[in-house]
Structure 1
Amino acid sequence: MTGLLDRLVDDAGLFPPTALAPADAVRRHRADLAAGHPLHSHRLLVPAGRLDEIRDHLDAQDRFALGLIADGGPTDDPGARLARAVATIAADPRLTLALVEAPVTVFGADPADAVPAVLDALRDNCVPDVSVFLEPAKPAGVDALLAALPRPPARTAGVKLRCGGVRADLFPSTADVARFLVACADARVPFKATAGLHRAVRHHDPATGFTHHGYLNLLLATATARTTGDAAAVRADLEITDPDRLAAAVRELEDVTGVRELFVSYGSCSTATPVTEATALLDPAVPDPARKDPTR
């Protein structure tokens, strides 16, 4: 299972519900880098507007790879804000730009206008091999977004799937997620995921009342989208709630490389829970190195 899970989890500790303070986010990420668990991508996700908050807590010897997330300020042009953040990273020897994520709504309502705006902001400030992942306003908007991506792109251009959040309306249905995955598979466009995915298996959280997608469900569904293109079969994978059944199906996946070329990674506010759950479900003989730290 190593290849399937390698570098799957991006560190989204700055984001809700964990929402670590910058000093705590840096401290946890530094510890995760030292531990070097293969499930972690060792990328820290940082909004462009909060980049300086992270830099303030770095030591001279730190070397962080960042996933930079475009955001908007009250008076800022989002393209200029993103370009400045990219330039700041390039000038700081402690930082490397690993990828860029951008909600298209920050740049405009129409993906046909927003996508070029994002790429223009990166063109003069970003090395060509840095990937950019664009997030539609809703998963159902993926078709218009895919149509707006350049062919062939000047850099790796993918899309982003939001799987949850702090409100019920931010959790897409399994039907919407299935359509998103099939669209990406058909177009052969990679995607990242975010929010609500720190647990491995689809489950209901009684504390919030939300039903969360599971990251193992998403991996299995991605494989089905690639091999069959059948949205109903993909949806069935997303709706599995039996951990043993899901783990058995994941263990049988064959084209691991193809699955991960399509499903690049996902952001999790917890970096410990994904490791704990993968260990328990897929390889219980492997000790879990995660520390007992409530911030993780």
Structure 2
Amino acid sequence: MTLFTALVDDAGLFPPTSLHMSEALARNRRGVEEDVEVLTHRFLCPASRLDRLRAEDWQPRRIGLIKDTPELPPFDDLPVDFVEARLPAERTVEDVARELDLPSGIRLFVEVPPGKFVPDVPAGVGLKIRCGGEAADAFPPVEQVAAFIRFCAENDIPFKATAGLHHAVRHFDPTLGVDRYGFLNLVLAVCEAVAGRDPAPVLRSTDVGQLVQLARNVPEETAKRARHLLVSYGSCSTGTPVDDLRALGLIEEEA
């Protein structure tokens, strides 16, 4: 199904899973060997841990490099296809793109605060939105996420998402006392924006049956356009998204 093919990046090194490098790579390898279509098989790795990754016997087929160091270390020996960097205060996306000056073929995604207006995004550069975290105040309001999606749809800006998207459908987390976004809600919200509708109601929905029906009724062209915009999202679990989609009947069970 177009909506869910190559949707999930592997963020096993990051909280709350926080796997050791060897464990995270072993899990990534299993996903590659099992050829799970929902997974991108892109391994998200902080720049500060590249040497540790190089020391392992097995290397991922593709790497999303997370800039957590003042300068990016050399990485031309690794299959890096994405670089993700945060937008510093008082800087523009164009500033970040110019300063990093990435080689051709490597895509840059700049993480911006959900409520921050980003007037000028250079061609070929994508954005990134954080949908949650380890504290309640890390979860942005629906209105901010909806505005971000509309902005990307109206300006044809691809984006990635990260954090908080643990399950398919929006649900209440009693530990944090907050509603967690669902990745199915997010995908369908992008479809709504593509169709010229407000994405906010779908982002808020906890109606599983309605969301499943919406997903099944998305026209193929809308799905393609939506996934052009929503490139992927990072998940600390690579099993839960697949299990959720199978349980909802949106992808086929393994033979």
- TM-score bracket relative to the smaller structure: over 0.9
Deviation per residue, 1:131-157 (Å, 9 max, x gap): 111011x2011x22xx2322xx3xx21
The residue type paired with residue 287 of structure 1 is E
- 1:248 shift after superposition: 0.4
Partner of 1:206: 174
Whether the aligned pair in 2 keeps the contact of 1:149 and 1:157 (CA below 8 Å) is yes
Query: Is the counterpart of residue 101 in structure 1 residue 80 in structure 2?
Result: no
Deviation per residue, 1:227-253 (Å, 9 max, x gap): 21x4xx311010110111110011111
Please list every run of 5 or more consecutive structure 1 residues that lacks an aligned counterpart in the other structure. Answer: 73-77, 290-296
- 1:270 shift after superposition: 0.3
What are the equivalent positions in structure 2 for 1:115-134 lying under 5 Å apart?
Answer: 115-123=94-102, 126=103, 128-134=104-110
Partner of 1:294: none
Quick one: distance in 2 between partners of 1:167 and 1:277?
A: 24
Query: Is the counterpart of residue 187 in structure 1 residue 155 in structure 2?
Result: yes
- 1:288 shift after superposition: 4.7
Whether the aligned pair in 1 keeps the contact of 2:25 and 2:60 (CA below 8 Å) is no
Change (3 A) 1:118 1:71: farther
Partner of 1:160: 128
Whether the aligned pair in 1 keeps the contact of 2:149 and 2:193 (CA below 8 Å) is yes
SS at match of 1:236: helix
- 1:169 shift after superposition: 1.1
TM-score normalised to structure 1 length: 0.81
Please list every run of 5 or more consecutive structure 2 residues that lacks an aligned counterpart in the other structure. Answer: none
Query: Is the counterpart of residue 257 in structure 1 residue 224 in structure 2?
Result: yes
Q: Which of 100, 104, 115 in structure 2 is aligned with 1:140? A: 115
Quick one: distance in 2 between partners of 1:31 and 1:227?
A: 37
Quick one: distance in 1 between partners of 2:82 and 2:170?
A: 28
- 1:117 shift after superposition: 3.6
- 1:63 shift after superposition: 4.4
User: When the two structures are aligned, how many residues end up with a matched partner?
Assistant: 253
- 1:27 shift after superposition: 1.1
Partner of 2:243: 276
The residue type paired with residue 169 of structure 1 is D
SS at match of 1:270: coil
Change (3 A) 1:63 1:179: closer
SS at match of 2:140: coil
Whether the aligned pair in 2 keeps the contact of 1:26 and 1:58 (CA below 8 Å) is no
SS at match of 1:139: coil
Quick one: distance in 1 between partners of 2:194 and 2:162?
A: 20
SS at match of 1:45: strand
Query: Is the counterpart of residue 267 in structure 1 residue 246 in structure 2?
Result: no
What are the equivalent positions in structure 2 for 1:1-296 lying under 5 Å apart?
Answer: 2-59=1-58, 62-72=59-69, 78=70, 81-82=71-72, 84=73, 87-88=74-75, 90-91=76-77, 95-105=78-88, 109-112=89-92, 115-123=94-102, 126=103, 128-136=104-112, 138-141=113-116, 143-144=117-118, 147-150=119-122, 153=123, 156-228=124-196, 230=197, 233-254=198-219, 255-283=222-250, 286-288=252-254
- 1:267 shift after superposition: 0.1
Whether the aligned pair in 2 keeps the contact of 1:275 and 1:288 (CA below 8 Å) is no
TM-score normalised to structure 2 length: 0.93
- Bigger radius of gyration: 1
Change (3 A) 1:283 1:236: closer
The residue type paired with residue 203 of structure 2 is L
Change (3 A) 1:122 1:161: same
Quick one: distance in 2 between partners of 1:283 and 1:180?
A: 26
Higher helix share: 1
The residue type paired with residue 79 of structure 2 is T
Whether the aligned pair in 1 keeps the contact of 2:97 and 2:125 (CA below 8 Å) is no
- 1:38 shift after superposition: 0.3
SS at match of 1:111: coil
Identity of aligned residues (%): 39
Quick one: distance in 2 between partners of 1:275 and 1:119?
A: 37
